[in-house]
Amino acid sequence: MKDLLRQQFERLALRLTELDATLADPGAIADMNRFRSLTREHAEVGSVVQRFRQYRQREHDLATAREMLTDPEMAAMAQEEIPAAEADLLRLHQELQAALLPRDPDDGRNAFLEIRAGTGGDESTLFAADLLRMYLRYAERSGWRTELMSESTSDLGGYKEAVLRLEGHDVYARMKFESGGHRVQRVPATETQGRIHTSACTVAVMAEPDAAEDIELNPAELRIDTFRASGAGGQHVNKTDSAIRVTHLPTGLVAECQDDRSQHRNKAKALAVLAARLREKDRSERTAREAATRKSLIGSGDRSDRIRTYNFPQGRLTDHRINLTLYKLQSVMDGDLDDVLAALQAARAAEQLAELEEGRGGGA
């Protein structure tokens, strides 16, 4: 283990001693918010320090076993102990490295996933529908709840825009690298000459703010319009102005919801999406500033980035950020995204680890 990493674990051991003393103080429980925060930190730091202690013990065991090789009576036992200790050290080293990687504070949040048709006309809207189906199937595989917050359909049954809410364990952590430009190459259903066309959609993944999130929407900065919902929904949607569109005047950001018969509930959902978009705007601007000094392996998440190509004639998916190519496109379109998302997370973790070893730190 490199000295820099060892020093970080030793500092954590000191921090654990401080936390033990603080939590043992009867007055610590007076501020329950602080007490809960310290308790969470104690659990996290304690888990890492326990692994580090195991690592140091196995280092000692390995050194002892190597010394025993010179003793004829103990050599056989040492030869068994050495590979076992080396395997444990490798495993513990990997676990300790992973424990030090900075975690995005939003990773445990639910998320809004926005799909917009881009270049390519009707084919782009059909591809947007395919992407929506892909994400819905992945969510189903993952045991997540889904809710279609808003949609704008095309004449051919595609989507000009759709906003999906995803609720479940570590949704944002697994989906955040989907933000960007998605390009498709295939023969459209409307193509009579059999020519391959290229079209594109953009995807944006936004962490859902907590109810008590510090994104405050000033009513004076909002324009709220009501309109009649379009599309499926029976006769009721054609008779009442239950759909809601909220415009944030300072930024021009817009959110709408029309999937509920209740105007009040539609307004609440639209405001939630708007808050997420404002939060994501702030995150994107912050990321852009950071990228000026450190280019991220995964990319900035900007919607103009072309992150992935779906080539149907070759059955090929290529993620350009990490040079990943998979020849299982139909399986991916059916929601089998695990290999893609795992590779993106592993690439980001490798970059974070390199930063850590260089002493630079780095966000998620």
Instruction: Provide the pLDDT for residue 287.
Output: 64
| CATH class for the domain made up of 111-353 | alpha beta
Answer yes or no: pTM beyond 0.75: no
CATH code of domain 3-100? 1.20.58.410
What's residue 250's pLDDT? 83
pLDDT mean values, one per 10 residues, the chain (364 residues): 83 92 87 85 89 93 92 90 93 83 81 91 92 97 93 89 92 92 88 85 86 66 79 48 83 81 81 82 69 45 71 96 95 96 89 71 49
* Alpha-carbon separation of residue 147 from 102, 171, 271 (angstroms): 30, 14, 15
Domain extents in the chain: 3-100, 111-353
